[in-house]
Amino acid sequence: MGIFFKLSAIIIAISAILIFLFIKPIFEPANIPELKEKWWKIHKPAKVDTSIKPFKIQVSDEILQDLKDRLDRTLPFQAPLQGVNQNYGINTNLLKTVVDYWKTKYDWKKREQLLNQYPQFITNIQGLNIHYIHVKPAQTQGLKVLPLLMLHGWPGSVREFYEIIPLLTTPQKGRNFVFELIIPSLPGYGFSEAAEVGGLGVPEVAVIMKNLMERLNFKTYYVQGGDWGAMISTLMAVFYPEKVIGLHSNMCLVNSPLSNLKLMLGSFWPSLVVDEEHKDLVYPRLDKIMYLVLETGYMHLQATKPDSIGVALRDSPVGLAAYILEKFTVWTNPAWKDLEDGGLTKKFTMDQLLDNIMVYWVTRSITTSMRLYSESINKRVVGLNLESIPVEVPSGCSRFKYELAWFPESILKDKYKNLVHVTNHEGGHFAAFEVPEVLAKDIIDFTTKVESMNVKKSV
């Protein structure tokens, strides 16, 4: 039976790729869609408040007491199977350790002070109160100040960026610029409001982010992101090339029919697609596809029935922690599924991990965050053929070894036509959180190249 299911999964995966490749014309011309600036609440007031208001995270004692009561009422866990470690999802022995720490050692009041260390604001964009962190450099004398929009994904939050903020806003030796950071919570995530009407997918979030930067009076700026943030920032570069000076991503994705065909053909002659050193990150192709099938069940669920799973996760803090922390094990290093502790504290502290979970819990935003999948992975958005629209602005791809999908430079150039910076690093999906020094240096190196290019153009 095991062989039957494996063969069935292989056939399904291959069939899906062939359908995508050959039913959808490979050389279909791609046009940038015109997206209307939709109002995302049910009712629109006669006068819209466009002011910018200071914001601080202040969680009520009532919410914290409710959390404590729910943690105390947690039912006994189902015992894990012997020797499975994290291969069936988070091991309940590990989860018990997390919950015990949450109940006895984690101090939200102290963590709230940490989360409030940087200036935060709220402003209304297209009906939604959008939360963002805005950090200006303290030292700017003799330096060019460059605005940088940084975007998170799921199951992350703005918490991922706290360790990288000082690295990017502090002048670096030998560099003639420093960053001014704008770090929003995506709509429906954390402290940003969620839409009340359908249709707010990744393309529409890109419009909101553009409007946020306009609200802050930035005419041009750099964009950076991973996960959903990578896709949103890429679309901003596609939609608004006159505004985006440069695009940096720690999850550059290419999903055009032509690129998929090239990757498949490379199975017969890998050297046509990837160098020998990195061949094992791309091939055997079937192994990579099966890994994605194994690790993207959550995506199918969230793209089809986010509200159903949302009920359970919104009601149980322990369930929420289990669902999110599993991703921090597998997506940081897939080999850690075979460890008793899931490797969770190899790269993160328990406080950091719980900070991120608390952002979802205290804002009751897990359901609305997952809706971004259903609003983006559907016939309407796929029909826009966004994957086939090239990025023309200067782009930088920071490739981390354990990212869910790793693309050779030859494939990246199919999408990123002005690819000026490609690097390889140890690490996984949550780069800003896991290795902030590595990602910060990569962003700075990329920006140095783009700024030098712009100087040459102006001469």
User: Strand, coil or helix: what is 177?
Assistant: strand
Note if 429 is an active site residue: yes
Which of 132, 416, 429, 442 does the annotation list as catalytic?
429
In the structure, what pLDDT confidence band is assigned to residue 458 with cuts at 50, 70 and 90?
low
Q: Where are the domains of the chain?
A: 52-458
pLDDT of the residue at 428: 98
Range in 145-149, 165-169, 259-263, 346-350 the model is least confident about: 259-263
Angle at 41 between CA 36 and CA 44, to 5 degrees: 85
Instruction: Please identify which residue in the block is written with the tokens 């922390």.
Output: 325
- Burial class from Cβ neighbours inside 10 Å (0-12, 13-18, 19+) for residue 164 reads buried
pLDDT (mean) for 86-98? 97
Note if 227 is an active site residue: yes
120 CB neighbour count, 10 Å cutoff: 21
Arithmetic mean of pLDDT over the chain? 93
Is the separation of the CB atoms in 391 and 245 below 8 Å?
A: no
The pair of structure tokens assigned to 414 is 């199919």
pLDDT of the residue at 19: 42
Query: Is the confidence at residue 164, as pLDDT, over 80?
Result: yes
Rounded Cα distance, 232 and 58, in Å: 29
pLDDT of the residue at 3: 47
| pTM, to two decimals | 0.92
Range in 159-173, 250-264, 312-326 the model is least confident about: 250-264
Which of 373, 414, 421, 442 does the annotation list as catalytic?
373
In the structure, what pLDDT confidence band is assigned to residue 457 with cuts at 50, 70 and 90?
confident
pLDDT (mean) for 96-102? 98
252 CB neighbour count, 10 Å cutoff: 27
Domain 52-458 in this protein, CATH class: alpha beta
Q: What is the DSSP string of 146-172?
A: EEEEEE--SS--GGGGTTTHHHHHS--
Note if 402 is an active site residue: no
Backbone angles phi, psi at 224, to 5 degrees: -145, 145
- Burial class from Cβ neighbours inside 10 Å (0-12, 13-18, 19+) for residue 374 reads middle
Is the separation of the CB atoms in 71 and 317 below 8 Å?
A: yes
* Distance, first Cα to last Cα, the chain: 68
What angle, 0 to 180 degrees and rounded to 10, lies between the N-to-C axes of helices 306-315 and 366-376? Answer: 160
Query: Is the confidence at residue 10, as pLDDT, over 90?
Result: no
Backbone conformation region of residue 199, classed left if phi is above 0, alpha if psi is from -120 to 50, else beta: left
Q: Does a cis peptide bond (omega within 30 degrees of 0) precede residue 155?
A: yes
The pair of structure tokens assigned to 30 is 């791609």
306 CB neighbour count, 10 Å cutoff: 20
For 360-374, the pLDDT digits (tens) are: 999 999 999 999 999
pLDDT (mean) for 150-165? 98
pLDDT of the residue at 28: 55
pLDDT of the residue at 8: 43
Range in 119-128, 199-208, 285-294, 429-438 the model is least confident about: 285-294
Backbone angles phi, psi at 207, to 5 degrees: -65, -45
316 CB neighbour count, 10 Å cutoff: 18
Q: Which of 140, 173, 160 is nearest to 224 (CA)?
A: 160
Alpha helices in 268-385 (DSSP H): 285-295, 297-304, 306-315, 317-330, 344-347, 350-363, 366-376, 379-382
User: Strand, coil or helix: what is 181?
Assistant: strand
pLDDT of the residue at 459: 56
Percent of the chain whose predicted confidence (pLDDT) is above 90:
88
pLDDT (mean) for 18-40? 66
Is the separation of the CB atoms in 67 and 357 below 8 Å?
A: no
- Cα-Cα-Cα-Cα dihedral of 360, 207, 391, 376, to 10°? 50
Q: Which of 325, 363, 365, 351 is nearest to 108 (CA)?
A: 351
Q: Which of 455, 448, 451, 432 is nearest to 157 (CA)?
A: 432
